[in-house]
Structure 1
């Protein structure tokens, strides 16, 4: 596909103008960053793995009625997505104490939470993505009360699906981050899932050993990040194991 005009470049992805109005091409880079990009490296193949994993998850969410910006994968590093008006919030859903939650509240990492906890963070690299409340969101007009209700409903549905998807392949979903955006269908506005869902945006632990299979491998120098992401892809049936044809992955049970 011919290279198109670049619209935006982030730490892990680039957006190009799409082939049709209302679309973008999302390109997955091999760059890995942590600690507000003070730690960075290039991990060969990371972008390919995240593209395939995010395609698998976003496509499955579309299938079960959770709307996302994903349309289809174009090649090993690019996918066609819907153009959305991004809401400037990161939505984090936590099932098990880890990372900043453990530090803030003094809870031992690995302790199951009494219920899924949803947190909001304002997207601003210069401010280090500060945690905000619903009051901040309403006061600064980042989203309406109805938007927040829709975002919470989406986040918890994604959590239910991902928890089952990963547990079915022997992985605990500790927490994850999503972004959301607005689209319009006539005069009707909808909130949909945007950005990506991959080991870059999830904490994933092996259900038996607790081995980390996410970006904490890079953050904490725990081994080879590409190997960890490859393990996730193999378990999801996206990549063949030992020459065996890829499985279709866990099935949704109605």
Structure 2
């Protein structure tokens, strides 16, 4: 494998065999605070043996289904044994965005809007966009602000919202077929380095979503247990 291009909190990135491809190496490092796993944290908190492979297995499962269904993604292939995923190169918007689709109220949405909603209030696939900025705790940003800061234009924003709703709903429905309920899903998008099309990037695993089994929260690392085919 070539030299590391970028070393992130939970993945390392290498140049792929082809010029327009990259290889993501999933680590066993996870985000957390004071040694306690927290998928929403902005720092590496601990290492858990095998967690990288668990995340990759689910990511390959969902991406393979999305590609087969014709959704725009950067996924090419995955090597489970070596914890690697080959992807097409993509350019992020600004320094990176996270896009949250909320089917039911939970987490920060309830903390912010608790005067108007309670845990589990239906939200009809409401979409929020945040900046990837650890120092500022990933602040929420509006469509107008994205355009004002030259991160994304209005047409790209509308394409992003429509695409994330479709993909998040597809993933939610697949998870529902496994007897679980999704409250929200956090995805990342960029644009294809060749075509300029908005595409899904990064992983799709337990740390990307809040999932419940008959009202009981499913820990991100345990979600794989519901997908024996992954």
Deviation at residue 190 of structure 1 after TM alignment: 0.6
Q: Give CA deviations for 1:2-31 in whole Å, capped at 9, x if unaligned.
A: x32111122221111111101110111111
- What CA distance in whole angstroms lies between the structure 1 residues aligned with 2:108 and 2:9? 20
Deviation at residue 128 of structure 1 after TM alignment: 1.2
Give the direction of change, closer, same or farther, for the CA distance of 1:96–1:36 in structure 2 (3 Å limit).
Answer: same
* Runs of 5+ unmatched residues, structure 2: 32-37
Deviation at residue 75 of structure 1 after TM alignment: 3.3
Give the 3-state SS of the residue equivalent to 2:152 in structure 1.
Answer: coil
Aligned residues: 218
Give the 3-state SS of the residue equivalent to 2:227 in structure 1.
Answer: helix
Corresponding residue number in structure 2 for 1:15: 13
Give the 3-state SS of the residue equivalent to 1:231 in structure 2.
Answer: helix
- Contact preservation (8 Å) 1:46, 1:229: no
Query: 2:133 aligned with 1:112, yes or no?
Result: no
- What CA distance in whole angstroms lies between the structure 1 residues aligned with 2:224 and 2:61? 14
Corresponding residue number in structure 2 for 1:61: 66
Give the direction of change, closer, same or farther, for the CA distance of 1:213–1:178 in structure 2 (3 Å limit).
Answer: same
Q: What does 1:97-246 align with in structure 2 at a 5 Å threshold?
A: 97-106=105-114, 107-113=117-123, 115-185=124-194, 188-206=195-213, 208=214, 210-215=215-220, 225=221, 228-234=222-228, 237-238=229-230
Give the 3-state SS of the residue equivalent to 2:163 in structure 1.
Answer: helix
Deviation at residue 65 of structure 1 after TM alignment: 1.1
Higher relative contact order (CA 8 A, sep 6+): 2
Deviation at residue 170 of structure 1 after TM alignment: 0.4
Deviation at residue 184 of structure 1 after TM alignment: 4.5
**TM-score w.r.t. structure 2 length?**
0.89
* Runs of 5+ unmatched residues, structure 1: 216-224, 239-254
Corresponding residue number in structure 2 for 1:96: 104
- Contact preservation (8 Å) 1:199, 1:229: yes
